[in-house]
């Protein structure tokens, strides 16, 4: 079975004054992200697609890995694992 990494993050703005970005999901590539955007978000004014290490997402962002090939979405929390185990210091 092939492992797919969803390394590319898509954020969009629907406001004519581009001052707020809305997280849409993680994708296999920017080409796939822009295809998804064209199909699902026709109201987009501007978009950014970049590697996740170069984009800031708030700590409480629920990550959505969108797989267009299999038509699936996987959700996971971006919380620190120590919070799940309740062993954080501080």
Q: Would you write out the chain's pLDDT as a tens digit for each of its 90 residues?
A: 556 689 999 999 999 988 899 999 999 999 999 999 999 999 999 999 999 899 988 888 999 999 988 878 888 755 455 544 555 665
Q: What is the pLDDT of residue 10?
A: 97
Residue with tokens 């996987």: 74
Among 69, 1, 74, which residue's Cα sits nearest to residue 36? 69
- Rounded Cα distance, 35 and 74, in Å: 18
| Edge-to-edge strands, sheet with 62-67 | 46-51, 8-13, 22-27, 62-67, 72-77
DSSP annotation of 68: T
């Amino acid at each position: 079975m092939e492992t797919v990494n969803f390394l590319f993050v898509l954020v969009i703005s629907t406001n004519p004054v581009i001052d707020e970005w809305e997280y849409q999901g993680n994708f296999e590539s920017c080409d796939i992200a822009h295809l998804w955007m064209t199909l699902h978000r026709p109201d987009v004014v501007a978009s950014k697609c970049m590697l996740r290490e170069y984009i800031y997402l708030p700590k409480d962002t629920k990550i959505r890995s969108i797989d267009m090939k299999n038509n699936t979405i996987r959700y996971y929390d971006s919380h620190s694992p120590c919070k799940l185990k309740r062993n954080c210091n501080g």
